[in-house]
Amino acid sequence: METIKNKIPDTTKQFFDELSDYLNTKLLFFGSVQRSDYFPGESDIDVDIFTDNENQTITKLQHFLHVKRKDFKKFVWRLNHNNTIAYGHKIFYNNKEEGIMVEFSIYNEKYKQGILKEHLMKTDLPFYASFLLIMLKFLYYNLKFLDKNTFTYWKKKILSSGIGLPEDQFVVFEPK
């Protein structure tokens, strides 16, 4: 998960390399950028960052991305494979000038093995699930036929029930 299956622009690769060096940690990529349903320029890139000091990592990310602390959202995720509760922080970063769209998830190192196991269950998908995701994304990104809520609903269904997994139990806490 340290390497990316799909081709991304050189400027995006350079961004990730510089961020990894700045944080002095590996970035782990998951989601569509690791599968056949990645749509360059449309799909965001999902990145996990595992650390022993979440606050320090968030502060460094805040400075590197030039964002506010309040832009980071806390969340709780019940991992399906063992019912463990994982806590973390998320931030969506969109640099329109460079064409970089990233959703970062920051976790304590103690959750690493469980979270990677969850991500791997949604990486090597059956053909029919990949086909459905590609069609769904084509309707959403290219034809603008679906609204965001409908797109998100069906994407979650395909990535859970569609491949024989329960739906993720995930709660994001909005900052005040």
Residue 99 falls within a domain, yes or no?
yes
Domain that residue 164 falls in: 10-173
Question: Which pLDDT score, from 0 to 100, does residue 91 have?
Answer: 98
Residue 4 falls within a domain, yes or no?
no
Residue 101 falls within a domain, yes or no?
yes
Beta bridge partners of 46: 30, 103
Residue 19 falls within a domain, yes or no?
yes
Question: Which pLDDT score, from 0 to 100, does residue 161 have?
Answer: 94
Question: Which pLDDT score, from 0 to 100, does residue 36 have?
Answer: 97
Secondary structure (H, E, C), the chain: CCCCCCCCCHHHHHHHHHHHHHHCCCCEEEHHHHCCCCCCCCCCEEEEEEECCHHHHHHHHHHHHCCCHHHCEEEEEECCCCCCEEEEEEEEEEECCCCEEEEEEEEEHHHHHHHHHHHHHCCCCCHHHHHHHHHHHHHHHHCCCCCHHHHHHHHHHHCCHHHCCCCCEEEEECCC
Tokens of 41: 């320029």
pTM, two decimal places: 0.95
Q: What residue has token string 């036929």?
A: 145
Question: Which pLDDT score, from 0 to 100, does residue 174 have?
Answer: 80
CB 56 within 8 A of CB 50: no
Residue 62 falls within a domain, yes or no?
yes
Residue 80 falls within a domain, yes or no?
yes
**C-alpha–C-alpha distance, residues 159 and 121, integer Å:** 9
Q: What's the total number of domains in the chain?
A: 1
Residue 38 falls within a domain, yes or no?
yes
**C-alpha–C-alpha distance, residues 142 and 103, integer Å:** 21
Residue 109 falls within a domain, yes or no?
yes
In the chain (176 residues long), the average pLDDT of successive 10-residue segments reads 91 97 98 97 97 98 97 96 96 96 98 97 96 98 97 97 94 83
Backbone angles phi, psi at 129, to 5 degrees: -70, -45
